């Protein structure tokens, strides 16, 4: 047998095997499919539908009667409290009183004017004519000399009934405290006036304004 013949025989055998396998597969599929269908069909026919009715629940049994229990008296009933109704207050009656009678006011007669003050007949005058004569260079205060202070002062004096100076008010200042205080001290201590008198001739108080009093530093 030649090589070509051998090759042809081998190809035919292979083709036969393949065809055989295909046929066997188709047959096996048909067999399996048919059998499964028949089994399902027969099983469905053998199944019987049973309609089960739901039974109603049994009726509830009444509870057993209670045993003999001791009799408990009912709780006492408290009556509601009485509500006292307060009587409304009596109406307030407004009594309009008549207006008071005001008696007429009788004006008292005016008081008589006070008597006029006594007039001075004689004015106070300095005892020595001029108050400036009461000052000297020895009266110059040391503090004013140290400060080289000088100036002019003028005072308003109050003269008592005895002619003495009882008050001193500077109406013009020297500008130095030592000179101002020394001026009033000398006027009160050294100056004596003739007192003023009233209409009855009795001594009375008076005021007096001094002439300007000039302080000049003493010469060495």
Predicted pLDDT at 97: 67
In order, the DSSP letters of 60-93 are PPPPPPPP-PPPPPPPPPPPPPPPP-PPPPPPPP
Mean pLDDT by 10 residues, the chain (220 residues): 54 78 79 59 51 62 62 68 66 70 72 67 65 92 94 95 93 95 95 89 91 90
Residue 183 has a CB neighbour count (10 Å cut-off) of: 25
Find out whether 117 and 196 touch, Cβ atoms under 8 Å: no
For 145, the enclosing helix (H) or strand (E) is: helix 142-146
170-196 pLDDT, tens digit per residue, is: 999 999 999 999 999 999 999 999 988
pLDDT in the model for residue 47 = 47
pLDDT, residue 118, reads 56
Question: Phi and psi of 206, rounded to 5°?
Answer: -160, 170
pTM of the model: 0.45
Q: What is the pLDDT of residue 174?
A: 94
């Amino acid at each position: 047998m030649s090589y070509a013949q051998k090759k042809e025989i081998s190809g035919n055998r292979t083709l036969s095997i393949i065809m055989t396998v295909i046929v066997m597969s188709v047959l096996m599929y048909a067999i399996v499919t048919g059998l499964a269908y028949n089994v399902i069909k027969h099983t469905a026919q053998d199944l019987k539908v049973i309609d089960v009715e739901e039974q109603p629940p049994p009726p509830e049994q009444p509870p057993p009667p209670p045993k003999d229990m001791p009799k408990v008296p009912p709780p006492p009933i408290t009556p509601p409290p009485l509500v006292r109704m307060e009587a409304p207050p009596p109406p307030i009656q407004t009594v309009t009183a008549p207006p008071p009678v005001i008696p007429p006011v009788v004006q008292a007669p005016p008081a008589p004017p006070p008597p006029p003050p006594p007039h001075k007949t004689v004015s106070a005058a300095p005892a020595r004519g001029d108050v400036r004569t009461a000052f000297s260079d020895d009266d110059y205060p040391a503090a004013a000399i140290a400060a080289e202070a000088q100036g002019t002062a003028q005072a308003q004096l109050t003269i008592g009934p005895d002619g003495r100076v009882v008050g001193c008010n500077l109406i013009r200042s020297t500008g130095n405290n030592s000179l101002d205080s020394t001026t009033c001290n000398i006027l009160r201590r050294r100056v004596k006036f003739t007192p003023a008198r009233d209409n009855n001739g009795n001594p009375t108080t008076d005021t007096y304004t001094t002439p300007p009093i000039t302080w000049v530093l003493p010469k060495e």
